Amino acid sequence: MKIVVLAGGISPERDVSLCSASLISNALLSKGHEVAFVDVYEGVPDNADLTALFAKPDSGKTYSYTIPETEPDLPALIASHGGRKELIGPGVLQLCKMADAVFIGCHGGMGENGRLQAVLDCIDVPYTGSGYLGCALAMDKHLTKTLLLQFRIPTAKWVIYDPSENTIEDIKRTIGIPCVVKPIGCGSSCGVSIVKDESEWDAAISYSTKYEKTCLIEQMIKGREFSIGVLDGKALPIIEIIPKQGFYDYKNKYQANATEEICPANLTEEQTKEAQDLAVAVHHALNLGNYSRVDFILSEEDGHFYCLEANNLPGMTPNSLIPQEARAIGISYEDLCEKLVLSASRKG
């Protein structure tokens, strides 16, 4: 197959995407496919031979990218391209039309909120993951949590923060402190803070609004954190996430040895079934595609699982959570990447 792997973009998760997509490209090359790796924002060089951008399996071509400790400087990236704010760079869609399928290796922003999927639908190009509707629902944390309640899936209490209507006293009364402050539509914990007392409030709001104007304030549930992949409608083994310091923030997610990850998680059979059933229920409630990852907290107070969020394009480095879970049932990273791209289809 000829496969375009889309990466990068101007999302706060740009670096995560470039790392995932590089390794996805290597995996697909190793399985005998022709692969064109392209940054969806930067596009392809002017007058480039698009056919030549597809690396052959025997070409010796490999890709690599290391995720820095801090989020990318997106204004600097945009400035380096003359201030261009168009989300899709030159030549990208033409290249996609030449492929048998597109592997969406983007995270956050256009790649995960449904806009890229809608564009590919419009030009009739098959792609991996969820369709535009499922992506939009999963990326907006307020919509996600509203739907979860409709399906009776437990989730932490929350409010949408409006500084003209909400005060810190309102938050203390309705949500309580400690609480979690996060942008309504970012992933990889970009813009997320835990507010332990009032003195941390202003800094948390400022950090969140650096990424999006709308903040979601969520009840802080203390307990163990788990993540569960869903592949072709079935739950994968559960992985427990134990940061060595602080919480599961951007640095702890992507720097080596910052977090202990245990798969399969040490849970009872009953707990395992409950959490896996909830993950599949979330996947279907949000109309997600052939794979997703759902994150939970097991409350130390009441012993119930609470859904934190769903990821419609979860990280795909070999050490990311879904590849670890797949490996626990005998699916190699290379086989997982190929399985996802072979099941790519046109989404409605």
The model's pTM is 0.87
Would you call 52 helix, strand, or coil by DSSP? helix
pLDDT of residue 161: 85
> Over the chain (348 residues), what is each successive 10-residue block's mean pLDDT?
95 89 96 96 92 93 86 92 94 96 92 94 94 94 94 94 78 88 74 87 86 86 96 95 63 58 95 98 95 96 95 87 94 95 68
pLDDT at 2: 96
The alpha-helical segments, DSSP class H, found in the chain are: 14-30, 74-80, 92-97, 115-122, 132-139, 141-150, 168-174, 201-209, 250-254, 269-285, 321-328, 333-342
Q: What is the reported pLDDT for 185?
A: 72
Residue 107: predicted pLDDT: 87
Structure confidence at residue 309 (pLDDT): 92
Q: Taking the CB of residue 12, how many other CB atoms lie within 10 A of it?
A: 24
Alpha-carbon distance of 222 to 89, in angstroms, equals 43
**Residue whose pair of structure tokens reads 């849970």 in the numeric block:** 267
d(C-alpha 310, C-alpha 317), whole Å = 18
Distance from first CA to last CA of the chain, Å, rounded? 23
Angle at which helices 321-328 and 333-342 cross, to 10°: 100
pLDDT value at residue 181: 92
Q: How far apart are CA 149 and CA 155, in angstroms?
A: 7
Q: What gap in Å lies between CA 178 and CA 198, rounded to an integer?
A: 9
pLDDT at 259: 77
C-alpha 312/C-alpha 113 separation (Å) is: 9
In this structure, are residues 314 and 292 in contact, taking their beta carbons and an 8 Å threshold?
A: yes
- Give the per-residue pLDDT at 226: 97
Using a 10 angstrom Cβ sphere, with 0-12 exposed, 13-18 middle and 19 or more buried, the burial of residue 32 is exposed
Q: Delineate the domains of the chain, giving CATH numbers in brackets.
A: 2-129+334-342 (3.40.50.20), 139-155+222-312 (3.30.470.20), 158-219 (3.30.1490.20)
- Check residue 187 and give its pLDDT: 60
d(CA 292, CA 213): 26
Q: Which of 293, 292, 301 is nearest to 219 (CA)?
A: 301
- Choose among 346, 270, 260, 342: nearest CA to 303: 270
Cβ(171)–Cβ(159) under 8 Å? yes
Q: For residue 29, which phi and psi values (nearest 5 degrees)? A: -60, -40
Structure tokens at 53: 């951008």
